Structure 1
Amino acid sequence: MDWRFGDFTIIDLIAATTNAFNAALLARRPDHYKHFTVVGILLLGVIGGLAGGIARDLLLLQTPVALLNPAYLILALIAAGTALAIDYRSGQALRSGLFQFATSLALPWYAIIGAAEALDAGLPYLAAVLIGVVSATAGRYLVDLTCRVTPKLFIRSEWYVGTTILAAVAYLVCAAGFRLGVWPATLIAFVAAFVFRYAAMLRGWEEPEPWEPPELRATESERPPKEFGSGPD
């Protein structure tokens, strides 16, 4: 076991915890919920919280740190349990607003730490951005598949993938371009990505879809409702 807590580990734990919290909230949403048990929701929280870091470490040919440091699993379970308790005790308006905030809060962290770890491993900038995107979206991808929902990163939404790219690029600019330390670069990148994502969700900014010929548009099925019903995703 490895209980050490350096700068990268602390940022990584923040990413795992916030994503586990968000995944547990997601599993309780009407479009994802499939009569999961309490244990099932906790497991989905753990999957959503740890999958990004595990995917990143495997891409970097490293033993996943989440399997070495027990703090990852412990904090992910606590975060998922907290989300479940809040969901049971809150109304729909609070749940929707909380999920909006939690999604914006969770998304940038893994993108930042993924780019940071790739940069530290000596990978090119484009590869660092790619690993940041994979790290940030892997957990949601697995939760969506488990819930039989089209994975979020493939469909139109309020700049879901775009936010991860922004977070990774902002970190690289600050760390590699301006030579800022880990924490200043991380906080600047996080604030930029969080503000952008939250504003996109509140204002309904969405990625563009490709042009569709009329014959294709006439046969396509109706777009599924957004996660928040009438609100932003």
Structure 2
Amino acid sequence: MTLKLLVLLLDLAGTFVFALSGATAAVRRRLDLFGVLVLAFVAANSGGILRDVLIGAVPPASIRDWRYLGVSVLAGLVTFRWAPSIERLKNPVRLFDAAGLAMFAVVGANKALEHGLEPPMAALLGMLSGIGGGIVRDVLLREVPLVLRAELYAVAALAGALVVVTGEWLAWPTTATMCGGALLCFGLRMAAIRRGWRLPVAPAGDAPRDDRPDARPRDPEA
């Protein structure tokens, strides 16, 4: 398998699972078919579009290549039709989100390196491309983005991206480092969910709280 084909497959696979996470969240909020498809596309492609715009790969692949739209719509339709079956999975939104995060983080870092970015910035861009879709999804659903309140979300994406850029610096095989980075990101994210690992949270202090029910951030896993 060529590196170009591997990157494309990881990108499309990440698009599909991120679309599943967006569509699942939309179904839980009782959106109609159009809303489910919009959330599927937004969650699946926002990070990739942001990545491509920042590295100058325009028009972005998600807009230029029909396969990204097709994969997103397919995931949305599958979720809309078989939502009860998908819900039987344990924490489906987080599971799909972790898989998409892992694939987008390593693909984003690899594409950034191909476009001449320095390794530290390539790692940050890999992280950003991984978390971008989830941020837009949560904002559209009027929720505090998962990346700002979840267990080791952006940190997991950064760890996976760092494996890719470190492998490039040490001249390791790119295919191996991308697969290793994706596995590290996914494993770290799932372990953090199961064990509750998270970054420190500042004490609330005496700041006034808004206790209205509609003012509290909603958890997509609730």
- TM over 0.5, shorter chain: yes
List runs of 5+ in structure 1 lacking aligned partners: none
Match of 1:160 among 153, 159, 176: 153
Q: For the Cα contact (< 8 Å) 1:158–1:206, is it kept in 2?
A: yes
Does 54-63 or 9-18 show the bigger shift? Answer: 9-18
Match of 1:65 among 61, 80, 99: 61
List runs of 5+ in structure 2 lacking aligned partners: none
Task: Report the equivalent of 2:108.
Answer: 114
Task: Report the equivalent of 1:77.
Answer: 73
Distance in 1 (CA, whole Å) between partners of 2:90 and 2:22 is: 14
* TM superposition score normalised by structure 1: 0.83
Match of 1:202 among 180, 194, 209: 194
| 1:220 aligns to 2:214 (yes or no) | no
Q: For the Cα contact (< 8 Å) 1:22–1:83, is it kept in 2?
A: no
| 1:141 aligns to 2:130 (yes or no) | no
CA shift in 2, pair 1:99/1:152, >3 Å: closer
CA shift in 2, pair 1:72/1:16, >3 Å: same
Q: For the Cα contact (< 8 Å) 2:52–2:61, is it kept in 1?
A: yes
Count, aligned residues: 214
Does 58-67 or 80-89 show the bigger shift? Answer: 80-89
Match of 1:140, SS state, is helix
Superposition CA RMSD, Å: 2.0
- CA distances 1:101-134 after superposition (whole Å, capped 9, x unpaired): 2222111111111111111111112211221122
Shift of 1:96: 4.1
| 1:42 aligns to 2:34 (yes or no) | no
AA paired with 1:13?
L
Distance in 2 (CA, whole Å) between partners of 1:176 and 1:14 is: 26
CA shift in 2, pair 1:174/1:209, >3 Å: same
Q: For the Cα contact (< 8 Å) 1:132–1:164, is it kept in 2?
A: yes
Q: For the Cα contact (< 8 Å) 1:171–1:185, is it kept in 2?
A: yes
Task: Report the equivalent of 1:123.
Answer: 117
Task: Report the equivalent of 2:164.
Answer: 171
AA paired with 1:115?
A
Does 112-121 or 10-19 show the bigger shift? Answer: 10-19
Task: Report the equivalent of 1:185.
Answer: 177
| 1:99 aligns to 2:93 (yes or no) | yes
Q: For the Cα contact (< 8 Å) 1:7–1:182, is it kept in 2?
A: no
Distance in 1 (CA, whole Å) between partners of 2:210 and 2:184 is: 36
Distance in 2 (CA, whole Å) between partners of 1:224 and 1:150 is: 6
* TM superposition score normalised by structure 2: 0.87
| 1:53 aligns to 2:38 (yes or no) | no
